[in-house]
Amino acid sequence: MRRQQGLGHAAVATLVGLGLLVVTDCSDDTGLPKRYSVSGNVTYKGQPVEKGNIVFEPTDMAKGKFATGTIENGYYTLSTSGASKDGALPGDYKVVVVSKLVDMTQVEANRNGGSGRQDDIYKAEKKAKSLIPKKYERSDTSGLTAKVEQKSNTINFDLTD
Residues with Cβ < 8 Å from 30, sequence gap 6 or more? 81, 83, 86
**pTM of the predicted model as reported, rounded to 2 decimal places:** 0.75
Dump pLDDT digits (tens) for 29-76: 778 899 999 999 999 999 999 999 999 999 999 989 999 999 999 999
| 83 and 13 together in one domain | no
User: Is 14 in the same domain as 75?
Assistant: no
Which CATH number belongs to the domain containing residue 92 in this structure?
A: 2.60.40.10
Q: Which residues, 6 or more positions from 69, have their beta carbon under 8 angstroms from its beta carbon?
A: 38, 39, 53, 54, 76, 77, 78, 79, 85
Q: Which amino acid is at 136?
A: Y
Domain count, the chain: 2
Ramachandran category for residue 145: left, alpha or beta (phi over 0 → left; psi -120 to 50 → alpha): beta
The boundaries of the domain holding residue 39 are 33-159
Whether residue 13 is found in the same domain as residue 54: no
Same domain membership, residue 69 and residue 18: no
Backbone angles phi, psi at 21, to 5 degrees: -60, -40
